[in-house]
RNA sequence: GCACGCGUAGCUCAGUUGGAUAGAGCGUUUGACUUCGAAUCAAAAGGUCGCAGGUUCGAGCCCUGCCGCGUGCACCA
């Protein structure tokens, strides 16, 4: 439901897409135009000054009166000319010469030299509006595109929550960031595989098993009965959340500040060994607990429109001997070495020369312990090798969950031939050309080791095949702690924010927050639209809640710590998701009320402006002056969507897109206030307004869809 | 100690890879609903871009040194 193509194409009336009224290429985009001018400038620079420009930056002028596109190229050229000839030439003079040399393109009305030497380009507004109006909406259809070409696969791992408790907002930041990046990559035309790593045999699951076996204590059947008896709003993951906190206290003999009791810690170690071993009653119990938590977490994520292609489990990495293979490869390639003396005697280590060793901190990273067991980093290298398609082993797979639209999330299994969903063919998993791991920045160091280890094994792929998509944590603001009834120590009170802790049960659970958002949204919807049915109200409230939460988590750049505050997160006003949705809803309401004849007339008129000089002149008139410039700048901003997506994909920073969507919504709201579209009597101006509004809502809807935010019918 | 990140308006944050007069939201003050929907819009006030040097036509952005804050640096995962 959140894929851009489906919702956009329904909204946008495809009246004349098959007819070309325009004299210029209907597929014109701002990116293409920009490239065209870069090439011309490079050619001109070579002809005039004998200078070849490698990199040429274009920019959007600060004000629309200064043009639509600017090149500060003359400053750079002045320097280069001085270097090669020794002559000092004023940037303005250079700009004037370049201007003369640039043959005006069809899409351009004029070129000006401004300031100290900027080359400012003014587009032919009527011509381009006509071209933009003719551009069909991007039809993103995974199936049809996949059938046509085999594209290199981008791989994104995100969420990866330890399956021993409910998700909190820190986990949601990871999932929303990852999911949005996946949407960005897809919108940019990439094939993407989404993985969620399930550490079902780790310490955290072992801890909850300790709780079930030694605190409760319960058998597997009793746990199943308990699970069935739990209410929907206090489900199994919530129960485990509380139990996990109890286990932490249990280890310390119920004294939060006490030392762990070694005998009780041994219970954990024993269970951990049983889990790694597999095929025993404890492992079976743990599997139930982990699987149920995964199901609950997937339910939570689906409320936010987040889905997966594959759940890769640690149990299979162990049982299918991924590590053994990786170990062989690393020894063979000499990436690790066996230490024969010193502190790490008997361990296999990876040399890490950038860190100089001190007494306290070892320079080299231990991959295999002296007792022969592998560290987490070692297992991660094996998994990363598989992701890149270079391990030489594969998982077995079975379907885990079938979503309402038929999409299937698969899970790894040790059992061969487990595929029991013949109507859904299994995709080929793994073999990504680039692997993005969405993991918080506290794990930068181990992630660096994994990436280097893999790069050392696979020099042909290199360091850039593994990308750590790092982000800062979500912490609790002091006021959020107060609202949650958390008592703070004096030490914590002095801090600007408090780190969340699953172990201490310190955090805002994702479902609780979504519930609150939905309740607040529902109250507003009921006040504004009492005529809607209960189902419609609930669905709208849900869309608003998702918009608010996703936008809140995306508006911050990745390396900014979010000090979570209820007031900000629950806001529907200002720079928020609902603000953006509201702008799109208003835009849609115009087209709902607009009679079809007006729409058809408007599109026909604007499309004909491309070829008919007389019509073009009247359209140009409507787009001139202060009011016209304001309309035009809305169109220009809307048309930058592709460029923003491309930049977002390259920088792996979804916050750019969030800011863009907000700015576009803001520009539209301004436009909306300034112009009465339906009541406009000047038919040319009305046509311009209709087409501009249509372009703006089309692009805003696409931008929001890429953020995973849908546009309600009403709100 | 070492590595990485951060420091921009009262608060929370952007800043298009070095470009034109540093921008948003919240909060404060003031104004706008008989209208395609006010979850909106307009206006005002608010800045030594942590400090000091340097690089150049140009620095919030790059370099060096300080100051302050955060996070890592396990034979844990």
Q: Tell if A669 CB is < 7 Å from nucleic strand B.
A: yes
Bridge partners (DSSP) listed for residue A468: A437
Q: Tell if A88 CB is < 7 Å from nucleic strand B.
A: no
CA atom of A555 to C1′ atom of B14, Å? 9
Render pLDDT for A670-710 as a digit per residue (tens, 0 to 9): 999 999 999 999 999 999 999 999 999 999 999 999 999 99
Cα torsion through A289, A290, A295, A301, rounded to 10: 130
DSSP symbol at A25: -
> Which residue has 């107060």 as its token pair?
A482
Sheet architecture: strand order including A434-440: A396-402, A408-413, A310-313, A191-198, A153-157, A434-440, A466-471
Q: Which nucleotides on strand B sit less than 7 A from a protein beta carbon? A: 1-6, 12-17, 19-21, 23-27, 35-42, 56-58, 69-77
Structural tokens at position A98: 């370049």
Q: Tell if A43 CB is < 7 Å from nucleic strand B.
A: no
Q: Tell if A219 CB is < 7 Å from nucleic strand B.
A: no
CA atom of A476 to C1′ atom of B6, Å? 18
Rounded to an integer, what distance in angstroms lies between the CA atom of residue A388 and that of residue A430? 6
| Mean pLDDT score, A117-145 | 77
Render pLDDT for A629-678 as a digit per residue (tens, 0 to 9): 999 999 999 999 999 999 999 999 999 999 999 999 999 999 999 999 99
Q: Residue A21's pLDDT band (boundaries 50, 70, 90)?
A: very low
Q: Which residues of A308-333 are buried (b: 16+ CB within 10 A; e: fewer)?
A: bbbbbbbbbbbbbebbebbbebbeee
Q: Tell if A673 CB is < 7 Å from nucleic strand B.
A: yes
Q: Tell if A479 CB is < 7 Å from nucleic strand B.
A: no
Q: Tell if A516 CB is < 7 Å from nucleic strand B.
A: no
Percent of all residues in chain A with a pLDDT value above 70, rounded to a whole number: 92
Task: State which H helix or E strand residue A67 sits in.
Answer: none
Q: Tell if A60 CB is < 7 Å from nucleic strand B.
A: yes
Helices (H) and strands (E) in chain A, counts: 28, 16
CA atom of A355 to C1′ atom of B53, Å? 30
Q: Which of A534, A573, A584 is nearest to A713 (CA)?
A: A584
Number of Cβ atoms within 10 Å of the Cβ of A9: 17
Rounded to an integer, what distance in angstroms lies between the CA atom of residue A593 and that of residue A162? 50
CA atom of A599 to C1′ atom of B36, Å? 14
DSSP symbol at A339: -
All structural domains of chain A: 30-134 (3.30.1360.70), 151-319+395-428 (3.40.50.620), 479-569 (no CATH), 573-706 (1.10.730.10)
Q: Which of A514, A517, A488 is nearest to A501 (CA)?
A: A488
User: What local confidence, expressed as pLDDT, does residue A487 receive?
Assistant: 80
Q: Tell if A118 CB is < 7 Å from nucleic strand B.
A: yes
Q: Which of A126, A131, A127, A130 is nearest to A620 (CA)?
A: A126
> Which nucleotide is the nearest neighbour of A565, by CA and C1'?
B12
> Which residue has 């129960």 as its token pair?
A239
Q: Residue A396's pLDDT band (boundaries 50, 70, 90)?
A: very high
The phi, psi pair for A569, rounded to 5°, reads: -70, -30
> Which nucleotide is the nearest neighbour of A647, by CA and C1'?
B16
**For residues A156 and A182, is the Cβ–Cβ distance under 8 A?**
yes
Q: Are strands A498-499 and A408-413 parallel, antiparallel or unpaired?
A: unpaired
Question: Which runs of consecutive H residues, i.e. helices, occur in A57-141?
Answer: 73-85, 91-101, 125-134
Number of Cβ atoms within 10 Å of the Cβ of A82: 12
Render pLDDT for A237-262 as a digit per residue (tens, 0 to 9): 999 999 999 999 999 999 888 889 99
Q: Tell if A589 CB is < 7 Å from nucleic strand B.
A: yes
CA atom of A180 to C1′ atom of B8, Å? 28
Render pLDDT for A305-352 as a digit per residue (tens, 0 to 9): 999 999 999 999 999 999 999 999 999 999 999 998 888 889 999 987
Q: What angle do CA A604, A605, A611 make, to 5 degrees?
A: 95
Q: Which residue is nearest to nucleotide B32 (CA to C1')?
A: A673
ipTM: 0.97
Q: Which of A204, A155, A419 is nearest to A308 (CA)?
A: A155
């Amino acid at each position: 439901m959140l894929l851009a193509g489906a919702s956009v194409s329904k909204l946008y009336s495809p009246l004349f897409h098959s007819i070309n009224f325009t004299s210029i290429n209907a597929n014109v985009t701002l990116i293409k135009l920009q490239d065209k001018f870069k090439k011309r400038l490079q050619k001109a620079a070579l002809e005039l000054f004998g200078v070849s420009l490698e990199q040429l930056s274009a920019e959007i002028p600060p004000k629309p009166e200064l043009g639509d596109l600017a090149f500060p190229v003359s400053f750079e050229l002045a320097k280069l000319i001085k270097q090669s000839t020794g002559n000092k030439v004023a940037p303005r003079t250079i700009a004037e010469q370049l201007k003369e040399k640039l043959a005006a393109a069809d899409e351009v009305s004029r070129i000006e030299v401004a300031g100290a030497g900027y080359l400012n380009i003014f587009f032919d507004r009527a011509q381009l509006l006509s071209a933009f109006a003719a551009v069909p909406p991007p039809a993103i259809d995974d199936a049809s595109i996949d059938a046509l070409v085999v594209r290199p696969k981008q791989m994104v791992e995100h969420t990866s929550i330890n399956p021993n408790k409910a998700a909190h907002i820190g986990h949601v930041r990871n999932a929303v960031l990852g999911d949005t990046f996946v949407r960005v990559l897809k919108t940019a035309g990439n094939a993407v595989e989404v993985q969620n790593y399930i550490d079902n045999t780790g310490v955290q699951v072992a801890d909850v098993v300790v709780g079930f076996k030694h605190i409760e204590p319960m058998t597997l059947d009793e746990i199943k009965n308990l699970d069935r008896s739990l209410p929907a709003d206090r489900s199994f993951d919530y129960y485990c959340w509380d139990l996990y906190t109890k286990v932490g206290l249990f280890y310390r003999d119920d004294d939060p500040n006490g030392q762990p009791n070694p005998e009780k810690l041994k219970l954990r170690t024993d269970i951990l060994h049983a889990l790694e071993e597999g095929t025993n009653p404890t492992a079976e119990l743990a599997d139930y607990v982990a699987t149920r938590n995964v199901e609950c977490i997937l339910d939570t994520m689906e409320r936010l429109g987040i889905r997966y292609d594959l759940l890769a489990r640690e149990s299979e990495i162990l049982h299918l001997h991924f590590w053994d293979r990786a170990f062989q490869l690393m020894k063979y390639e000499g990436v690790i070495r066996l230490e024969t003396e010193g502190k790490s005697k008997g361990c296999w280590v990876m040399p890490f020369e950038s860190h100089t060793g001190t007494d306290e901190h070892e320079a080299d990273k231990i991959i295999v312990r002296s007792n022969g067991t592998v560290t987490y980093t070692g297992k991660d290298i094996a998994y990363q090798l598989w992701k890149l398609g270079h391990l030489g082993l594969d998982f077995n797979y079975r379907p885990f969950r079938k979503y309402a639209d038929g999409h299937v999330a698969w899970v790894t299994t040790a059992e061969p031939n487990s595929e029991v969903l013949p109507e859904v063919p299994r995709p080929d998993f793994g073999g990504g050309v680039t692997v993005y791991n969405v993991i918080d920045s506290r794990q930068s160091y181990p992630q660096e080791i994994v990436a280097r280890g893999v790069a050392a094994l696979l020099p042909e792929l290199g360091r850039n095949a593994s990308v750590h998509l790092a982000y800062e944590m979500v912490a609790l603001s002091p006021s959020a702690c107060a609202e949650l009834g958390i008592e703070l120590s004096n030490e914590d009170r002095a801090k600007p924010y408090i780190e969340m802790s699953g172990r201490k049960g310190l955090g805002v659970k994702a479902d609780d927050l979504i519930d609150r958002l939905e309740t607040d949204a529902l109250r507003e919807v009921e006040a504004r639209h009492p005529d809607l049915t209960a189902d419609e109200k609930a669905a709208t409230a849900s869309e608003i809640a998702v918009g608010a939460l996703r936008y809140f988590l995306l508006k911050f750049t990745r390396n900014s710590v979010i000090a979570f505050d209820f007031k900000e997160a629950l806001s529907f006003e200002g720079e928020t998701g609902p603000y953006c949705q509201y702008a799109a809803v208003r835009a849609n309401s115009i087209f709902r009320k607009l009679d079809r004849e007006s729409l058809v007339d408007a599109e026909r008129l604007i499309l004909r402006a491309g070829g008919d000089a007389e019509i073009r002149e009247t359209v140009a008139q409507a787009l001139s002056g202060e009011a016209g410039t304001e309309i035009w700048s809305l169109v220009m901003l809307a048309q930058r969507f592709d460029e923003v997506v491309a930049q977002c994909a390259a920088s792996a920073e979804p916050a750019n897109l969030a800011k863009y969507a907000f700015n576009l919504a803001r520009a539209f709201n301004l436009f909306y206030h300034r112009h009465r579209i339906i009541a406009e009597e000047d038919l040319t101006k009305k046509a311009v307004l209709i087409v501009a509004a249509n372009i703006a809502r089309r692009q805003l809807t696409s931008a929001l869809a890429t953020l995973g935010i849908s546009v309600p019918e009403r709100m």
